[in-house]
Structure 1
């Protein structure tokens, strides 16, 4: 995002926090409603452009937004929307992408209120691995020719009774709107959930399953490096031969046998 959109995003997130303050029940409703608004904006280009048109005063854009959505969504959601559209965005897509992020954050906030945020984070990570290991499922969820409603129904059928309702809502929105690979989207949601708990996520590929003691030792080492609590997500990859590869954000620590062999090959070259 350019500077204008970053500032606008900050103001919108402040509006979300204000709207949810003092209400444990509003977060889930607001998150779901923001996703519904995004679906409307994705379908109606003229409205999307009008709400982000910087040549029109922000107050006029906010008034238009209120006329369109008032009575259709809650007062808390309207407050977030009117604040968001009143800002000056560098690109229309930045406004819509921020509303998606706010919807995700609101739903994760609702999971935190009920003490289920850890479970949601873990489920999102595991779903990413399941989809990555199942090409047919990945194709079905990524098929852009398939109607969004059909993909939402597929997710609902697969996850019904097996995951948290917040997980289902987040996944349905990702597959219906899909702007990136499904696996990447799930990883980003898992990271967002960890950030909500003031933790960072270490994505670990290991040649064999790690014991709990090994996980704890790895988490402790990373905590000393990064100065924050670390959630360790492990994926077994026998192709590594031995050792682990750890990714934290853009940092990669390769302690695998295959990584050492590749480094040796480069050195010899």
Structure 2
């Protein structure tokens, strides 16, 4: 991510935090706008053209989306296109990020991070589902409908909206990658960091709470723990937070011992 995009994301996130009336309708409109901009190189190029005056780009937003979206959505889109982005693709990603964050804001009580993570594990464990959602040949709206059907009544509306919207606009990204990014964005919007913990056996609620507390103290921010059962871990834990990996597994120690013996 270029420095211009980093600053643009910060500005649009600040605008979202200050906005009123952010609900799931706004999030849905932002997702639809991201798809529309992403599907048109002419539109994305015009909106991301930093050489054009910000007022001119705002006029394009008003002409294309003004009557179709709420004032809150229109204001957020106007703020987004007023920024300087490193590329047109980054602008599309930025609008999509706004949509994910808006969905998190709209349902603050829902455990969206956990629900997105669990759905990503379902996809990972079901190759046929992953193929159906990730195929370039499938109809985009049909993929969204499939996700709606799978998640209806099982997760929050925010989670369903995020997952169903993302699979309709993969833009060369794998489904699990889309869901993982969304999980991190939701956590960040709520002031948390996500830790993925790989363990050979399920952890008790008390163990998860203790681990979350330890990681929170270590990283200085609230940490949400998602667990993955992985028999190859053998014993102990492997924890991944962003680019950090804490490997306290038996399999890791055995591998280290084998290397020492071989050397």
- TM-score normalized by structure 1? 0.91
Structure 2 gaps, min length 5: none
Q: Is the 8 A contact 1:52 1:89 kept in 2?
A: yes
CA drift at 1:18:
2.9
**Corresponding residue SS for 2:136:** coil
Number of aligned residue pairs: give it: 261
The answer to whether 1:229 aligns with 2:222 is yes
Report what 2:5 is aligned to: 5
Matched, 1:101 2:93: no
State the match for 2:182 in structure 1. Answer: 189
Q: What is aligned with 1:206?
A: 199
Change in Cα spacing, 1:16 to 1:214, as seen in structure 2 (3 Å) is closer
| Structure 1 residue 11, shift from structure 2 partner | 2.3
Asked whether the equivalents of residues 58 and 88 of structure 1 are also in contact (C-alpha less than 8 Å), the reply is no
Relative to the length of structure 2, the TM-score reads 0.93
Greater mean deviation of Cα atoms: 4-13 or 66-75:
4-13
Alpha carbon RMSD of aligned pairs, Å? 1.6
Deviations along 1:194-232, whole A, 9 cap, x unmatched? 223322221001011112222222222212211222211
Map of 1:19 onto structure 2: 19
Match of 1:155 in 2: 147
Which structure 1 residue ranges, 5 or more long, are not aligned?
A: none
Q: Secondary structure at the match of 1:178?
A: coil
Deviation at 1:153, TM superposition (A): 1.1
**Partner Cα separation in structure 2 for residue 221 and residue 244 of structure 1:** 14
Query: Is the alpha carbon distance of 1:85 and 1:185 closer, same or farther for their aligned partners in structure 2, counting shifts above 3 Å?
Result: same
1:113-157 deviation line (CA, Å, top 9, x unaligned): xx22x2x22111111111111111111111111011110111111
- Whether the 8 Å contact between 2:100 and 2:186 is mirrored in structure 1 is no
Tell me the distance in 1 between the aligned counterparts of 2:210 and 2:7. Answer: 39
Determine the C-alpha separation between the residues in 1 that align with 2:222 and 2:52.
Answer: 45
